[in-house]
Structure 1
Amino acid sequence: MCHRRSIDCSKNCYLGLHLGSLSLHGVIVDSELKVIFESLVHYDVDLPEFGTKTGVIEDAAYDEFLCNPVMYVKALDILIESLVSQGADMHSVVSIGGAAQHHGSVYWSDIGLRRLCNLNPIFRLHEQLTNQAFELTRSPTWRDFSTDEQVREMEFAVGGAAEMAAITGSRAYARYTGPQIRKVFRKCPEHYERTSRISLHTSFLASLLIGGVAAINHTDGSGMNLLDIRKKTWSKKCLDACAPDLARRLMRPIKPSRLQGRIANYYVQRWNFRPDCMVGAFIGSKNSEMAGLPGLTDYLMLSLDTSDAIVLPLKIAPVINEGHVLVHPTRPDEYMGMLCFRNGSVVRNAICEEVANGCWESFNQMLDDTPMGNNGNVAIHFRDREIIPIAQGTMRWDADVDPMTQESLRGLPRFEAPEIEARAVIEGQIMHHFSVASEMGFTSDEDTKVIVVGSDAKNTRILQIVADVFNTRVYQRNGPEASLLGSAFRARYAFYEHRECACNCRPCRSWDRNSKLSYDEFFKVPDGLTLAAEPTPGCVQIYQPLLGRCAQMCRVLASKQ
C-alpha cells in the first residue's frame, strides 16, 4: 500500500440532475447520500416564452413532439441559480451525475460548438447558446412518432426487423433516434449537412457542463437503433441505413462508467464550482432509475410516469420481437430489458380531470368505492399512439360484451358512473402492462419484488391494483425520484472509482485492480424499499379472465391502424 494521505470525503457533495419530459430536476446530496438541496424547473410554468404544453411545442403536427434546445439551456441556468440562492456551496460538489429523457436529439451548428467551447462567465448560458447554436430549433423528443416511413426504410436496408433487433436490441421504432436522424436528413438535407455534431439529450446536458461535445455512452446509445449492443460500437450497416457521414457527427461511443471530463471554467468562475469537479457519462431516465436500485437481483421495476415502463435486469442480451434490450448502466457485460408504454400519467390525469375535476383525493375515493375487477368493466385508453401494440384510440367493454360480435369492435361510448371510469382506466393500464410483460417471458415467484417508481408511485390505491394484477408484493423506493437518486449514486461512485481508487503508484496499481468495489458492492446501505401493497386474496381468480379480455381489446384497437 502507498503512504499517501487518505482522502477525507466527509465534506464532499454530489449533484444529480434529471432532464425530464416536463421539467429539469436537480438535487445535491452529502457524503451519506442525504438530500440537502433540491430544485425543480417546470418548462410550461417557469419558461412560458417557449410555448410548450407538457414539455413540447404546441403548434407542431399531431405526430410531432418537438422542443427548442435553448429551453433546456435556460432551465439549467435557472436551476443552478436556484440552488445557489438556497445557500448551496457549489465548491463542495466534487462530481456530477445525470439522466435525461431517452431518444431525443440535438443538432449542433458550427457557431454553437464555438460558443460552447468559449463560454463567457459574464453572460448567462442562454444568452450565449441561442437559436444560432443549433441547426434545428424544433428538435424531436422521445414522444415523436412521425418517422414511420424512415422506420421502414431503415429496417429494409439492414435486412428486416429481425436483423435490426439482432444488432441493436430492438426493431426500429418511430421514436428511436436513428429514424429521427434519417427524417432530418431526408426532410432537411441542408440542415443535416451543416450539422457538426449530434447529441442525445443525455450527452447534450453533459456537453453544457463540460463546455465541449460529450460522447454518447453505450447505455443510451443502445436506444438509437444504431449501436451494436454486443460489440458496443456503432453498426456500420445501421449507420449506412440512417444517414451519410453519421459516425463523425456522433463520435465514438464510450462506456457508461467513463468520465466526460471536468466541469467547464465557465461554472468555476460564475458559480464557484471547484475546477476538478468531475462530470460523468449521463444516461437515460429509465436506465438511471435502475442505477438507483444497486444490489438487487430478482425484481421488476414498474415506472409510472409521463410514460410508463417495465424494466428488469438481464444477464445476456436476448433477441426479441417487441420491447428493447439495452446495455446495463452499472454492470459491465450485462443488459436490461425495457417495455415502454406511451400512455402513462398524462392519460391518468386526463381521466381524473374528467371524472373528478382533477382532484386526486376524490379519484382515489372512487377507486375505494369500486370492487376489484370493476364488475367486468374494462377500458383501454391509447390517447397517443401506443408502442406495444401499435394502436390508438379508446375501447370500453363491460361484462356483457361478446368478443365475437360487432359490438366488441365499437365498444361502449361511456360507462354509467364516474367511479367505474376511474377504476377502469387504472386497471386497464396495469393489466395491459402485465400482459405485455408476460408475453415477453416475465414470471414471478414468492421472492420476486415489483418496485414501483415515478410520479404516481406514491398513490397507494394504484399500488394496490398493481399488487393484485401482478399477484406479488409491491415496494416503493424511499427518497427523491428514482432517476435523480440514480444520478446521485453514479456521481458518488464516479468519485470513488476515478479519484479515491486512482492512485498510480506501483503498489496501488496491482492492489486496486483486485480490491476495487463494484457499483453494487460499494453501496452497502439498506435498499431503501418499503412494502407498499400485498395481493388481495382471490385476485388471481378475478383478474385472470379479465387479462384475456384486455389483450383482445388491444388487438381490436391495433387492427384499426
Structure 2
Amino acid sequence: MTADKTGAFYLGFDLSTQQLKCLVIDQNLALIHSETIGFDKDLSHYKTTKGVYLHEDGTVECPVAMWLEAVDLVFERMSKHKHIDLSLVRAMSGSCQQHGSVYWAEAGPGLLPKLDAKQSLKQQLYPEAFSRNVAPNWQDHSTGEECQKFEESCGGAAQLAQTTGSRAHHRFTGPQIMKIAKKEPEVYRATSKVSLVSSFLASILAGEFTPLEEADACGMNLYNIDKRDYDDKLLRNVDDDTEALRSKLGGPPITSDKPAPVGILSPYFVEKYGLNPECQIFPFTGDNLATICSLPLQPNDVLVSLGTSTTILLVTDQYHPSPNYHLFIHPTIPRHYMGMICYCNGALARERIRDQLSETHDWEPFNAAVTSTTLDTDNEIACYFPLGEIVPNVPSSYRRATFAKSPDSQKVELELKDAFADVAHDAKNIVESQALSCRVRISPLLSEDCADPSVNLGDSMVHFDYDDFPLSEYKKRPRRAFFVGGASKNNAIVERFAQVLGATNGNFRLETPNSCALGGCYRAMWSHLHYEGLTNAPFDNFLNEQFRWETDVQSLGLTNDKDWQYFNNKIQALSELEKTL
C-alpha cells in the first residue's frame, strides 16, 4: 500500500518504559503500519525488568544504549515491509516517557551530525556521547530529600505548584538532576547537555542536539509557567551557577506558539533505511501530553480514563494550579494548558464492592444498583479509598454519611454511618462520588462561559483541597466528555459519570491502544502542513475536521439537564465529608 494523492506518510513514535513503538499514518489519518520493539523481549541482553533497572534505594533507571539499539531496530524492521515506502515519509514527531533525563558528555552533541550509515547508532554514540549510561525513569522514588528542598526553596508545595504547575514529585526532572549533581558530582561536571527523553529522541532523528519542548519542560519543577522561562530560584537547588545550568538544559525550550521543525531527518537514516531526505522532525513531547494530541480535544473538553486508577485530562485556558494535580502548557494550542488529575482509587475500589454483591465477580448486580431509579440514595454520600488517595490527599479510609440541609439552607449537616442499608447503596454511591469528585476538581479549570446560566446554586462556601469557592463556582459544565480505559466499556459506570459531569456538547467512548504514538502522528502531519502553508487551521480545529468520527468514536449522546442538576445537591455534602478524612 502506498499513500494516495499527496503520496504522504507521517510517523509517530512512542518511547515508553517497556517498548519503542512507531506508527505510520497516511494523509487521511488511516493507520498503515505499527512496529513495536519490546525491550525485555527484543533487547533481552540488557537484562531489564519491564524496561528498567530497579535498585533497593528506590532508584529506577533505563539503559540509554538500549534506546539507541531500539531506534535502529524499529527502522530496520519497517524498511523490510513492502507496503511501506519510507521515502514518502514527510514528517515525524512523537511521545516519550515523561520526566526522564539523558546526560550528554562534551563530545556528544558534536557526534550527532557525523553519524555514518555503515555503523549503528550504538557503535557511534555509546558510551562516548554520554556522561551517564542510564536515564532516571518516572517510577524512581529516591529523591525525597530533593523534593523537600524544592518545596522549601519556593515557600511550600502550593507555591511550587503555582510557579511550575505541580508540587515536587520524586520523578520530576529537577529533583533528579539535583540528586545527580549532589551524589554524582563527577558525572554532573562531565555533562555538557541534559535532554528530556523526548528531546533526546528528536536529537537522534534530526542528527543534531535539539532543545527541550516547552510543554514537556513543565514536568521538571524548574520551569516558571507564567514567565515561560526557567526559574532561577529553582535552578539554584541544582547549581548555584544558574547560567551554566541553563546552558546544560540547552537554552530556552521550544514553544508551542507556532509549529516549526527542530531539524531535517539525519542523513544517517536516509542512507541506511531509505527515508525521505527532506523529512521534517517536529518537537517530541511527554506521553500524557501526546495523548491529548491523539484525540480531537478542544478547549473545555475533558478526557476521562477509567483504568485501574482514574485519570482526568482536560484542555483549559485557566491557569489554576494545585498541589493535588498538574498543569502543563498545551503542546499544540497556544495560550492553553493541559490539566491532569490522577486518582489512585478507581477500578480497585469499585471491584471490591462488586465482589461483595457477587461471589463470581459478576458486574450485573453492581450495574443494576448503579442504574436503579428506585434505590434511594438521595441523602447519602460516601468516599471509598482502599488505597491512600492523591485527590484528596488522604490515607486509606472509608466514610459513609447521610446528610440534610441546615435550617437556614446555608450548610449541610452530616450523620456518619458505619454502613448503608445494604451493599447495593455502596455500588451506586461509589460511582457517583468518584464522578462528583472529578466534577468539582475540573470546575475551576473550565472557562467562565461554561457556567450553566439556568442554575442558581447560591453562595455558600465549600472547600476542596486548597480551594475555597462559593457553590456557584460548581455550575460549570465541560463541552464534551471522552471516555477511555477498561471501565469505559461498562455502560452503567460511563452513563453515570456522564450524568454527573454534564457535558453540554456530547459524550463519546473510544479505545486508545496507540494514543501516545498516534498523537505523534497527528502532530507531525498538522505541523508539516501548517509549516508548509498547506493549512492555517489551529491544531484542535484541524483534528476535529480530519478525525475519523464515524469509525473511531462511539457517540453516547447528550447529558440530560435534570440528571446533571440532581447532583448539585451533593456537592456541599461531599465537601463536608472530605473534611472528616
Normalised by the size of structure 1, how large is the TM-score? 0.76
Cα 1:433/1:159, change in 2 over 3 Å: same
Q: Counterpart in 2 of 1:80?
A: 75
State the distance in 1 between where 2:56 and 2:572 align: 36
Q: Counterpart in 2 of 1:34?
A: 30
Cα 1:215/1:541, change in 2 over 3 Å: same
Q: Counterpart in 2 of 1:463?
A: 494
State the distance in 2 between where 1:133 and 1:52 align: 22
Query: 1:276-315 to 2 correspondence within 5 Å?
Result: 276-294=278-296, 296-304=298-306, 308-315=310-317
Unpaired segments of 5 or more residues in structure 2? 403-413, 447-472
Find the residue that maps to 1:242 and give its secondary structure. coil
**Match for 1:272: what amino acid?**
G
State the distance in 2 between where 1:306 and 1:125 align: 38
Candidates 475, 481, 485, aligned match of 2:508:
475
Q: Which of the two has higher C-alpha Rg?
A: 2
Q: Counterpart in 2 of 1:505?
A: none
Unpaired segments of 5 or more residues in structure 1? 1-7, 502-514, 557-561
**Match for 1:249: what amino acid?**
K
Q: Which sits farther off after the overlay, 242-251 or 144-153? A: 144-153
Q: Post-superposition shift, 1:159?
A: 4.2
Candidates 64, 88, 94, aligned match of 1:92:
88
Q: Counterpart in 2 of 1:491?
A: 524
Q: Post-superposition shift, 1:247?
A: 0.6
Contact persistence 1:101–1:201 (CA under 8 A) = yes
Summarize deviations over 1:181-223 as a string: whole Å, max 9, x none.
1122122222211122111121112122112222112211122
Q: Counterpart in 1 of 2:11?
A: 15
Q: Post-superposition shift, 1:365?
A: 5.6
Summarize deviations over 1:484-527 as a string: whole Å, max 9, x none.
332112111222123346xxxxxxxxxxxxx9433344443357
Find the residue that maps to 1:196 and give its secondary structure. strand
Contact persistence 2:302–2:478 (CA under 8 A) = no
Find the residue that maps to 1:492 and give its secondary structure. helix
State the distance in 2 between where 1:380 and 1:129 align: 48
State the distance in 2 between where 1:423 and 1:294 align: 31
State the distance in 2 between where 1:225 and 1:521 align: 31
Q: Post-superposition shift, 1:105?
A: 1.5
Counting matched residue pairs gives: 518
Q: Counterpart in 1 of 2:459?
A: none
Q: Post-superposition shift, 1:95?
A: 0.2
Kindly indicate whether residue 548 of structure 2 is the aligned counterpart of residue 517 of structure 1: no
Cα 1:492/1:222, change in 2 over 3 Å: same
Candidates 526, 530, 549, aligned match of 2:554:
530
Normalised by the size of structure 2, how large is the TM-score? 0.74
State the distance in 1 between where 2:382 and 2:150 align: 41
Q: Counterpart in 2 of 1:184?
A: 180
Q: Post-superposition shift, 1:97?
A: 1.4
**Match for 2:385: what amino acid?**
I
Q: Counterpart in 2 of 1:508?
A: none
Contact persistence 2:349–2:386 (CA under 8 A) = no
Q: Counterpart in 2 of 1:382?
A: 387
CA-based RMSD of the aligned residues comes to 4.3
Q: Which sits farther off after the overlay, 122-131 or 369-378? A: 369-378
Query: 1:122-271 to 2 correspondence within 5 Å?
Result: 122-130=118-126, 133-243=129-239, 244=241, 245-252=244-251, 253-256=253-256, 257-271=259-273
Kindly indicate whether residue 66 of structure 2 is the aligned counterpart of residue 71 of structure 1: yes
Contact persistence 1:314–1:335 (CA under 8 A) = yes
State the distance in 1 between where 2:354 and 2:330 align: 41
Q: Counterpart in 2 of 1:437?
A: 442
